[in-house]
Structure 1
Amino acid sequence: MPEILKPSDTAGSAKRISWFRLITIRQFLFWVAIFVVTRHFMSGADHFLQLTPEALGKYFNYKWVLIAHITGGGGALVLGPLQFWSRFRARYIKLHRWVGVGYLLAILVSSICAVILSFTTVYDVNWAYAFSAQVWVSVWIISTVIAYRAALQKKFKLHQEWMTRSYIVTLAFIVSGLTLKFLLKIGFGTFEAISPSLFWMGWSVPLFIYQVVLSWKANK
């Protein structure tokens, strides 16, 4: 005897299919990759949650600043890709805006904490490390503020371009972190020697590439 589907069952199936059609496989895999890498980096900071001088080291006096910085940065990394999900944005504009607000708040928290850390504890490494962190967080804040102002002014093309720049700078955490881990593993210099250069590279090179892509598209 054939199974009789209830209206609620068909509605649920249609809803699942509708959500599935909103995202491409490439977008889904990219978001999963970001989530996995973010989780990997954040799990590496789990020992900070012990809140002891031994676990926190130089960060002990700024433990809550550090934890807020890591948490906010992780939130921005995970929420960022949803801002570029065009079908989702077109169909659920209000939800898109709330996700955007969440992204902005995550960056606000993480960047303020990053400013505090960049002018205090990071000097324990060296001056070059501190300066590279200060420039990095400045670019992060400025690009995000410009994206936000463009949205308020309804300049949505400009908003999208600066949101992309903002997320590129956000992703620099992953780019620099993975590169640093690899180079340290193969014995290519010390943390103090190579980390400042990697901090610069993590956001400046991707931003340059993005600008080249924009220029190329504009001249097509």
Structure 2
Amino acid sequence: MTWLRKPWVGPLAFVVVAFVAFSLPPYLTGDRLQARVQSDWGPHYPLLVMHVVCASVAILTCVVQIWPWFRSRFPAWHRRIGRVYVFAGVLPAGLSGLVIGWMTPFGPVAQVSSVLLAPLWLTFTWLAWRAARRRQFRDHRKWMIRSFALTVSIITNRIWGVVMFLLLADRVPEAELPNTVAGITTWVGWTIPLLISQWWLERKPARRQAAVEQRESVPV
């Protein structure tokens, strides 16, 4: 079974499904008080619900899209799910995220991060989609990996949030703690995954070239 050769697929899918199962339900009730981010700005709640629902679509479909076995075994479904990822996931989630990021209650540091993240997410995804339409599949794969890194960054954001809270709870005044934690985690949550994805993209060809050189150096 060739899909078993990618052992990261199962754990990644489990983490994503568990995260969505935990994060999404409060936003399906229509109860504003259950939202984990509160704001006095009127349109904030419906935009937040749109963002969470569409981002959940994006993160679930993205896992399927980067699964090599599924991609090669079901290319037609890969294309269909890709359209869902772009037009029902990233596009509405990114646009709504840009607005609610600008209106964030967590201060200017988190605001700048969110306002920068949303256009990057939209741009990387659009470049991936355009490359696929042009059948430039190597470029499509590279841009899709960058898009994936930003899509799943919400999970690392939450992990960093717990870490920062534990580190800063006794060092930062209680009134300043939410903005301080949010300001740090909104930046490291997406910059680190994006840097890792870029490192991986640049490192893999080097590894492949080294393997080729090693094979060529073996006597025949």
TM-score norm. by structure 1 comes to 0.80
Q: Which amino acid aligns with 2:92?
A: V
Partner of 1:147: 128
Pairwise CA RMSD: 2.4
How far off is 1:181 after superposition?
2.7
How far off is 1:57 after superposition?
4.2
C-alpha distance after superposition, 1:62-118 (max 9, x if no partner): 322111100001111111111112221122111111111111121111111111212
Superposition pairs of residues 75-86 of structure 1, within 5 angstroms:
75-86=57-68
Which of 180, 184, 197 is residue 210 of structure 1 equivalent to? 197
Partner of 2:112: 131
Superposition pairs of residues 22-37 of structure 1, within 5 angstroms:
23-24=3-4, 26-37=8-19
Count residues with an aligned counterpart.
197
Which of 167, 188, 203 is residue 201 of structure 1 equivalent to? 188
Partner of 2:151: 170
- C-alpha distance in 2, partners of 1:215/1:38? 31
How far off is 1:29 after superposition?
2.8
- C-alpha distance in 2, partners of 1:53/1:71? 15
C-alpha distance after superposition, 1:104-154 (max 9, x if no partner): 1211111111112122x31x3312221111011111111111111111111
- Is contact 1:51-1:60 (8 Å) kept? no
- Is contact 2:27-2:52 (8 Å) kept? no
- Is contact 2:164-2:185 (8 Å) kept? no
Secondary structure at the aligned position of 2:155 is classed as helix
- C-alpha distance in 1, partners of 2:61/2:41? 27
The answer to whether residue 69 in structure 2 is matched with residue 87 in structure 1 is yes
| Structure 1: stretches of 5+ with no match in the other structure | 1-20
- Is contact 2:128-2:144 (8 Å) kept? yes
- Which structure would you say has the larger Rg? 1
| Structure 2: stretches of 5+ with no match in the other structure | 210-220
Which of 116, 124, 128 is residue 99 of structure 2 equivalent to? 116
Residues 48 and 136 of structure 1: CA distance in aligned 2, closer, same or farther (over 3 Å): farther
Secondary structure at the aligned position of 1:49 is classed as coil
- Is contact 1:22-1:88 (8 Å) kept? no
The answer to whether residue 179 in structure 2 is matched with residue 192 in structure 1 is yes
- Is contact 1:53-1:60 (8 Å) kept? no
- C-alpha distance in 2, partners of 1:33/1:60? 33
- Is contact 2:106-2:182 (8 Å) kept? no
- C-alpha distance in 1, partners of 2:204/2:52? 35
Which of 67, 86, 91 is residue 104 of structure 1 equivalent to? 86
Q: Which amino acid aligns with 1:210?
A: S
- Is contact 2:107-2:183 (8 Å) kept? no
Secondary structure at the aligned position of 1:137 is classed as helix
